[in-house]
């Protein structure tokens, strides 16, 4: 099976169908784009996949240790520890904590030290803390944030906050990483460097990335496959070249008949 | 059955008072998201103003009621302007502590002024008791119930039909958007405090009549109960506060009527917790999910 | 041992210094019998406030029910130590109090800690009132509204001081660890915390139970020192008193809670002569403090020995300053 399989996924808010009958497959080790006009339901789809919202209908299956596991009715934290990491469109860092602490929190679940061990400061506690610190610093270095470890997240410039969100999500050791408009509010240079960064992450960590983006050029540039949502429906799916020439997509973006 | 109906009647009177106080809690919460802990003490002040008006100024019931409502309205606005307004952008907990501080201030200020002993409230209404199919209804009960209903209708009229009422609803939905639409948010908030406090003042006079005794700490317990009533019905929702007030009044009298007077408060709290767990936004409230 | 470093040694000296200071004070009579009551009140309030700060200031869960857990500790200790009027009896009572308070916190926390903000506050208030009413109605054990009197005087300030040190070490070790950071992340942003794989319910409950257990200790010490307890000692007002200390000191600052407990305790002594006016001055001061300094005395700052050492050695390299 695929790494992630989504079938007939639907979410109704009252009478409004934010996502309807969406099908999607993600394979190991690929970079996939998810595009669509404002209000097409992209973020809602992320929220359904990560358990923030409960779907009205549909199937979400993730391959966990070679077994097909349903994500329906699972708690967000459980889904994250099964291997789905995410960032947020409207940056949700732990603002009053330091950069390092933000990353360490992402690592918590995979490096569990018990509450009792922590309170009594057992050798296991010191060992785990040390290991987490080293790993966190390595990750931060990769993203050129190593000089800012002691800074509060809220004091970082905007672009670095976005980067920190990605680091924090990577700290959860995801198999699939959902990036929700990582380039939002960035200038062209920043976007360009982010683009290469995303590609680099995907190669280096050998994970699957699903990228929501408004910036068509970014998506066309880095993604191997692209899904297109409009009014909650998946209207197209294919390689960047196929999408560029797809009539439904052109119509959705440019309007017209 | 007769005993049950009798308790229901008693419960309605008590519930009217809770409902009147709960309205003030709910309106203030709806508009600035503050649990105004001083509200129960405004009700206490209302009782004392009524007491003074009748005893010292020799007014009859209705003028005393009006005087008390006006006095409490001014007091409520003054508290809002002096203590709460500077904290509008502070943390919720800081605002809550300020409200508790105001509550202490009103209680202890009143103790300082009049002493802490209980006083008998002058009985300005003839305590006639009507019998009807074996049920007893006192004149005071009718008066309480009627006054409450009239005040609630007036409130609904103000909130639904007047320009100020519309502004109140706008501010409680989105204060920033309301400000951009040219609504003077500060005035609307003051008006909300005035309305809520005047209802509490009325409740104070009515309770003085009903229980025949008043003291400076009298606001604490009913204040808490009324707040629970507001939460039960759905805080921020005006009909919810009325409903919650009556519900708690009736539950309380029924539980004590059937021999549970020692645990009546525990029953009220238990029901509250159960409702919060299953419907956190209250019985009449809508569940709102945080946008991600 | 590598773990027992300069920093821990610094804390040890600091704690010993305070202990000796109080010892000298009582021995020379500077802290007389009247001041000793104030001292005990302060010490007990320190335990209460730091426990509540863990719940409100660190896990971000608004509890208004701290007095309920204090009552459980007080009554357990009262009942047991009347039966066994020894130090062992006191310890047994405290342990029982901790056990029952933790159990109640766990049972109550699982359903209610899903509630947000004010709703949680009102639910915990309800729980505390229910605990109080249950105690009020258990006449055979608790003697109803009249309360327990003649609880043997066993706890003194030394025992209380030891418990402060223990409970502060437990709480500080917890918040400065990975589970502690997970707990703080809930305060910062619950949805983001969930998305980091953190079981938010679990860590809210841990904080709630730790807070409840420390409140039970404080209640037990209170019962043992003051000898008389009544259900009326543990009303909503008591929870509010503790909340005031926490907010006054600064939500999210344990140092703040300790300082605020001391400052408010001393303020109380100075206000004694004012009699009737005392509470009025207190409430005006409360409102004024909140209006002019809503984040409390210390905000979220903490006093640390390493910070003190750093300042002394004039900015050594900051790089390792954060190292545990």
Interface check for A108 against chain C (CB to CB < 8 A): the answer is yes
Measure in Å the smallest separation between the Cα of C188 and chain A Cα atoms.
Answer: 5
Encode pLDDT of C163-201 as tens digits. Answer: 999 999 999 999 999 999 999 999 999 999 999 999 999
Interface touch C291/B277, C-beta < 8 Å:
no
For residue B231, what are the β-bridge partners?
Answer: none
Cα A137 vs. chain centroid, distance in angstroms?
21
Q: Is A11 helix (H, G, I), strand (E, B) or coil?
A: strand
Instruction: Assess if residue A167 is contained within a domain.
Output: no
Domain boundaries, position A43? 4-83+173-254
DSSP states of B12-53: HHHHHHHHHHHHHHHHHHHHH----TTHHHHHHHHHHHHHHH
Query: Considering only alpha carbons, which residue of chain B is nearest residue C124?
Result: B273
Rounded to an integer, what distance in angstroms lies between the CA atom of residue B288 and that of residue B250?
29
Interface touch C122/B280, C-beta < 8 Å:
no
Interface check for B288 against chain A (CB to CB < 8 A): the answer is no
Encode pLDDT of B48-99 as tens digits. Answer: 999 999 999 999 999 999 999 999 999 999 999 999 999 888 888 888 889 9
Rounded to an integer, what distance in angstroms lies between the CA atom of residue A5 and that of residue B164?
54
Query: Considering only alpha carbons, which residue of chain B is nearest residue A54?
Result: B289
Rounded to an integer, what distance in angstroms lies between the CA atom of residue C193 and that of residue C182?
7
User: Domain ranges in chain C?
Assistant: 33-235
Measure in Å the smallest separation between the Cα of B222 and chain A Cα atoms.
Answer: 38
User: Looking at the 3D structure of chain A, how many domains does it have?
Assistant: 2
Encode pLDDT of A183-237 as tens digits. Answer: 888 888 888 888 888 998 999 999 999 999 877 778 888 899 999 999 999 999 9
- Tokens 């319910």, residue located: C201
Average pLDDT, chain A: 91
Q: By the 8 A CB rule, do A207 and A29 touch?
A: yes
Encode pLDDT of B266-284 as tens digits. Answer: 999 999 899 888 888 888 8
Does the pLDDT value for residue C301 go beyond 90?
no
Per-residue model confidence (pLDDT) at position C315: 47
Tokens representing residue B108 in the block: 């202890």
Best of A115, A151, A166, A173 to mutate (most C CBs within 10 Å, chain C): A115
Global pTM reads 0.91
| Residues of chain C numbered 171-200 and touching chain A (CB < 8 Å) | 173-174, 177-182, 184-185, 188-189, 191-200
Separation in Å, CA C232 to CA A219, C104, C237: 66, 20, 9
**Phi, psi for residue A89 in degrees, rounded to 5:** -60, -45
- Which subunits count as partners of chain C given 3+ CB pairs below 8 Å? A, B
Instruction: Assess if residue A105 is contained within a domain.
Output: yes
Per-residue model confidence (pLDDT) at position B292: 65
Q: Is A228 helix (H, G, I), strand (E, B) or coil?
A: strand
**E-strand stretches of chain A:** 4-13, 16-26, 31-35, 57-64, 67-70, 84-86, 176-180, 208-212, 225-230, 233-238
- Complex confidence, ipTM: 0.92
Interface check for B292 against chain A (CB to CB < 8 A): the answer is yes
Residues in C closer than 8 angstroms to A95, CB to CB, are 188-189
Per-residue model confidence (pLDDT) at position C310: 67
Tokens representing residue C111 in the block: 């359903």
Per-residue model confidence (pLDDT) at position B122: 87
Is A23 in the same domain as A73?
yes
Instruction: Assess if residue A215 is contained within a domain.
Output: yes
Instruction: Assess if residue A88 is contained within a domain.
Output: no
Separation in Å, CA C60 to CA C118, C189, C252, C300: 12, 9, 9, 13
Per-residue model confidence (pLDDT) at position B291: 65
Residues in A closer than 8 angstroms to B289, CB to CB, are 53
Tokens representing residue C231 in the block: 């259900």
Q: Name the pLDDT band for C292 (thresholds 50, 70, 90).
A: confident
Q: Name the pLDDT band for C313 (thresholds 50, 70, 90).
A: low
Per-residue model confidence (pLDDT) at position C312: 59
Rounded to an integer, what distance in angstroms lies between the CA atom of residue A144 and that of residue A196?
14
Does the pLDDT value for residue C105 go beyond 50?
yes
For residue A9, what are the β-bridge partners?
Answer: A22
DSSP states of B97-134: HHHHHHHHHHHHHHHHHH-SS-EEPP--S---EEEETT
Rounded to an integer, what distance in angstroms lies between the CA atom of residue B197 and that of residue C143?
40
Per-residue model confidence (pLDDT) at position A81: 94
Report which of residues A23 and B221 the model is more confident about: A23
> Which CATH class for the B2-278 domain?
mainly alpha
Q: Is B184 helix (H, G, I), strand (E, B) or coil?
A: coil
Measure in Å the smallest separation between the Cα of C126 and chain B Cα atoms.
Answer: 5
Encode pLDDT of C59-79 as tens digits. Answer: 999 999 999 999 999 999 999
Interface check for B1 against chain A (CB to CB < 8 A): the answer is no
Best of B94, B103, B111, B283 to mutate (most C CBs within 10 Å, chain C): B94
Residues in C closer than 8 angstroms to A109, CB to CB, are 196-199
Query: Considering only alpha carbons, which residue of chain C is nearest residue A52?
Result: C191
Q: By CB neighbour count within 10 A (0-12 exposed, 13-18 middle, 19+ buried), where does B107 fall?
A: buried
Encode pLDDT of B25-42 as tens digits. Answer: 999 998 888 989 999 999
3-state SS track over B122-180 = CCCCCCCEEEECCEEEEHHHHHHHHHHHHHHHHHHHHHHHCHHHHHHHHHHHCHHHHHH
Average pLDDT, chain C: 90
Encode pLDDT of C209-247 as tens digits. Answer: 999 999 999 999 999 999 999 999 999 989 999 999 999
- Tokens 């210390």, residue located: C298
Percent of chain B with pLDDT over 90: 62
Q: Name the pLDDT band for C318 (thresholds 50, 70, 90).
A: very low
Q: By the 8 A CB rule, do A230 and A252 touch?
A: yes
Nearest neighbour of C118 by CB, restricted to B35, B105, B277: B35
Interface touch C56/B93, C-beta < 8 Å:
yes
Q: A141 Cβ partners below 8 Å, 6+ apart?
A: none
Rounded to an integer, what distance in angstroms lies between the CA atom of residue B28 and that of residue B194?
10
Average pLDDT, chain B: 90
Q: Is A62 helix (H, G, I), strand (E, B) or coil?
A: strand
Nearest neighbour of B98 by CB, restricted to C62, C115, C290: C290
Per-residue model confidence (pLDDT) at position A196: 87
Tokens representing residue A12 in the block: 């109704």
Residues in A closer than 8 angstroms to C189, CB to CB, are 92-95
Measure in Å the smallest separation between the Cα of B86 and chain A Cα atoms.
Answer: 24
Tokens representing residue A183 in the block: 């380039």
Residue pairs between chains B and C whose CB atoms are closer than 8 Å = 119
Interface touch C199/A110, C-beta < 8 Å:
no
Report which of residues C323 and C211 the model is more confident about: C211
Residues in B closer than 8 angstroms to A52, CB to CB, are 292
């Amino acid at each position: 099976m695929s790494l992630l399989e989504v079938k007939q996924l639907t979410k109704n808010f009252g009478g409004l169908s934010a996502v309807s009958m969406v099908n999607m497959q993600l394979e190991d080790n690929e970079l996939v784009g998810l595009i669509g006009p404002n209000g097409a339901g992209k973020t809602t789809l992320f929220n359904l996949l990560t358990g923030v919202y409960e779907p009205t209908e549909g199937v979400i299956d993730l391959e966990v240790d070679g077994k097909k596991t349903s994500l329906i009715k699972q708690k967000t934290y459980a889904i994250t520890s099964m291997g789905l990491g995410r960032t947020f469109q409207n940056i949700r860092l732990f603002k009053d904590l330091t950069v390092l602490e933000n990353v360490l929190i992402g690592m918590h679940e995979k490096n569990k030290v018990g509450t009792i061990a922590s309170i009594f400061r057992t050798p296991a506690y010191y060992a785990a803390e040390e290991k987490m610190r080293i790993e966190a610093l390595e990750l931060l270095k990769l993203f050129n944030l190593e000089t800012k470890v002691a800074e509060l997240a809220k004091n970082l410039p905007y672009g670095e906050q976005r980067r920190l969100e990605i680091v924090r999500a990577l700290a959860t050791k995801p198999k699939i990483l959902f990036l929700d408009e990582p380039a939002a509010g960035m200038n062209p240079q920043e976007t360009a460097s982010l683009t290469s960064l995303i590609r680099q992450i995907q190669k280096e960590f050998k994970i699957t990335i699903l990228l929501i983006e408004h910036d068509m050029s970014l998506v066309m540039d880095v993604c191997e496959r692209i899904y297109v949502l409009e009014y909650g429906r998946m209207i197209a799916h294919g390689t960047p070249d196929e999408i560029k020439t797809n009539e439904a997509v052109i119509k959705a973006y440019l309007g017209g008949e | 059955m007769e005993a049950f109906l009798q308790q229901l009647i008693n419960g309605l009177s008590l519930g009217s008072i809770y409902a009147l106080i709960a309205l003030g809690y709910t309106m203030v919460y709806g508009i600035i998201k503050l649990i105004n802990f001083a509200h129960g003490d405004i009700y206490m002040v209302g009782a004392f103003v009524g007491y003074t008006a009748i005893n010292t100024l020799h007014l009859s019931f209705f003028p005393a009621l009006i005087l008390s409502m006006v006095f409490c309205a001014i007091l409520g606005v003054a508290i809002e302007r002096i203590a709460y307004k500077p904290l509008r952008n502070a943390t919720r907990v800081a605002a809550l502590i300020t409200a508790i501080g105001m509550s202490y201030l009103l209680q202890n200020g009143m103790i300082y002024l009049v002493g802490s002993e209980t006083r008998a409230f002058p009985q300005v209404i003839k305590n006639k008791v009507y019998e009807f199919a074996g049920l007893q209804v006192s004149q005071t009960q009718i008066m309480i119930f009627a006054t409450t209903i009239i005040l609630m209708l007036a409130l609904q009229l103000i909130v639904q039909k007047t320009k100020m009422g519309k502004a109140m609803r706008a501010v409680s939905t989105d204060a920033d958007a309301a400000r951009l639409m040219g609504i003077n948010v500060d005035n609307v908030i003051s008006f909300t405090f005035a309305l809520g406090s005047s209802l509490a003042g009325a409740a104070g006079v009515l309770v003085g009549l009903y229980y025949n005794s008043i003291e400076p700490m009298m606001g604490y317990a009913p204040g808490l109960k009324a707040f629970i009533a507001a939460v039960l019905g759905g805080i921020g929702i005006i009909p919810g506060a009325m409903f919650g007030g009556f519900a708690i009044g009736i539950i309380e009298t029924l539980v004590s009527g059937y021999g549970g007077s020692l645990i009546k408060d525990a029953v009220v709290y238990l029901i509250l917790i159960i409702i919060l767990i299953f419907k956190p936004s209250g019985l009449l409230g809508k569940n709102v999910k945080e946008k991600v | 041992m590598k773990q027992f470093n300069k920093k821990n040694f610094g804390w040890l000296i600091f704690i010993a210094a305070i202990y000796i200071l109080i010892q000298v004070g009582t021995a020379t009579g500077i802290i007389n019998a009247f001041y000793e009551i104030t001292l005990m009140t302060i010490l007990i309030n320190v335990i209460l406030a730091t426990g509540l700060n863990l719940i409100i200031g660190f896990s971000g869960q608004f509890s208004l029910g701290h007095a309920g857990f204090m009552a459980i500790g007080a009554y357990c200790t009262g009942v047991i130590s009347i039966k066994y009027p020894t130090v062992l009896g006191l310890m047994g009572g405290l342990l029982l109090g901790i056990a029952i308070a933790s159990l109640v916190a766990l049972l109550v926390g699982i359903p209610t800690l899903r509630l947000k903000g004010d709703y949680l506050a009102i639910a915990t208030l309800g729980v505390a009132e229910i605990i109080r009413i249950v105690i009020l109605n258990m006449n055979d054990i608790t003697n109803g509204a009249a309360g327990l009197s003649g609880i043997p005087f066993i706890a003194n300030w030394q025992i209380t001081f030891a418990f402060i040190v223990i409970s502060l070490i437990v709480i500080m070790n917890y918040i400065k660890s990975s589970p502690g950071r997970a707990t703080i992340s809930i305060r910062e942003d619950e949805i983001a915390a969930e998305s980091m794989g953190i079981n938010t319910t679990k860590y809210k409950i841990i904080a709630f139970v730790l807070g409840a257990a420390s409140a039970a200790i404080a209640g037990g010490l209170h019962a043992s020192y003051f000898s008389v307890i009544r259900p009326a000692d543990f009303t909503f007002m008591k929870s509010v008193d503790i909340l005031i200390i926490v907010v006054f000191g600064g939500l999210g600052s344990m140092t703040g809670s300790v300082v605020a407990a001391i400052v408010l305790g001393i303020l109380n002594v100075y206000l004694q002569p004012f009699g009737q006016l005392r509470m009025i001055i207190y409430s005006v001061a409360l409102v004024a403090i909140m209006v002019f300094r809503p984040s409390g005395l210390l905000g979220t700052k903490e006093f640390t020995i390493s910070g003190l050492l750093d300042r002394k050695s004039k900015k050594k390299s900051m790089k390792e300053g954060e190292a545990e």
